[in-house]
Chains A and B, each alone.
Chain A
Amino acid sequence: MYDYPDSTGHFGPYGGIYMAETLIPAVEELRVQYLRYRNDPEFKAEFAYELKHYVGRPSPIYHAKNWSDRLGGAQIYLKREDLNHTGAHKINNAIGQALLARRMGKKRVIAETGAGMHGVATATVAARYGMECVVYMGAEDIVRQAPNVYRMKLLGATVVPVESGSRTLKDACNEAIRDWVTNVESTFYIFGTAAGPHPYPMMVRDFQCVIGNEAKIQMPEMIGRQPDAVIACVGGGSNAIGLFHPYIEEKQVQIIGVEAGGHGIKSGSHAAPLTSNSKVGVLHGNKVYLMQDDDGQIIETHSISAGLDYPGVGPEHCLLKDIGRAQYVAIDDDEAMQAFHDLCRFEGIIPALESSHALAHAAKIAPAMGRDKVLLVNLSGRGDKDINTVARLSGISL
Chain B
Amino acid sequence: MSRIQATFEKLKQDNRRALIPFFTAGDPSLALTVPLMHALAGAGADVIELGVPFSDPMADGPVIQRASERALKHRMTLRGVLGMVAEFRTKNSTTPVVLMGYGNPIEAMGWGLFAKRCEEVGVDGVLTVDFPPEESHEAFLHLQHHGIDPIFLLAPTTLDARIETVARLARGYVYYVSLKGVTGAGNLDLSDIEKKIPQLRKHIKLPIGVGFGIRDAATANAVAKLCDGVVVGSRIVQEIEASTEQNVIANVSRLVGELRVAIDKG
Contacts and interface: CB of A to CB of B under 8 A. Distances in A.
A284 B58 contact: yes
A115 to B, nearest CB: 20
Contacts of A66: none
Given A18-B132, A21-B177, A296 B182 contact: no
**Interface size class, chain A:** 35 or more
Interface stretch (B91-99, B155-163, B235-243, B244-252): B155-163
B119 to A, nearest CB: 20
A21 B155 contact: yes
Contact of B158 (A17, A25, A174, A285): A25
A290 B105 CA distance: 12
A182 B107 contact: no
Contacts of A295: 77-79, 105, 108
B105 A182 contact: no
A299 B108 CA distance: 13
Contacts of B55: 165, 297-299
Contacts of A360: none
A71 interface: no
A252 interface: no
Contact of A298 (B69, B104, B180): B104
Given A20-B59, A26-B157, A297 B177 contact: no
Nearest to B65: A164
Contacts of B57: 174
A19 B108 contact: no
Nearest to A26: B157
A201 interface: no
A296 B58 contact: no
B14 interface: no
Contact of A21 (B58, B154, B181): B154
B106 interface: yes
Give the interface SS of chain A, mostly helix, strand, loop or mixed. mixed
Interface stretch (A91-99, A215-223, A275-283, A378-386): A275-283
Nearest to B59: A20
Given A181-B59, A292-B104, A296-B109, A17 B134 contact: yes
B140 interface: no
Contacts of B42: none
Contacts of A26: 157
A302 interface: no
Interface string A6-26: 001000000011111111111
Contact of A181 (B72, B132, B182): B182
B153 interface: yes
Contacts of B155: 20-22, 24-25
Interface of A: 8, 16-26, 164-165, 170-171, 173-174, 177-178, 181-185, 279-285, 287, 290, 292, 294-299
22 contacts: A17-B132, A18-B131, A20-B130, A21-B152, A21-B157, A22-B155, A22-B156, A178-B59, A178-B61, A178-B182, A181-B182, A182-B182, A183-B180, A185-B180, A280-B107, A282-B107, A287-B107, A294-B108, A295-B79, A296-B78, A298-B55, A298-B104
User: Top 9 nearest A-B pairs by Cβ distance?
Assistant: A296-B108, A296-B105, A21-B153, A22-B155, A182-B181, A295-B77, A297-B55, A296-B104, A20-B59
Given A20-B129, A282-B107, 6 more contacts: A19-B130, A20-B58, A21-B177, A22-B157, A24-B157, A297-B104
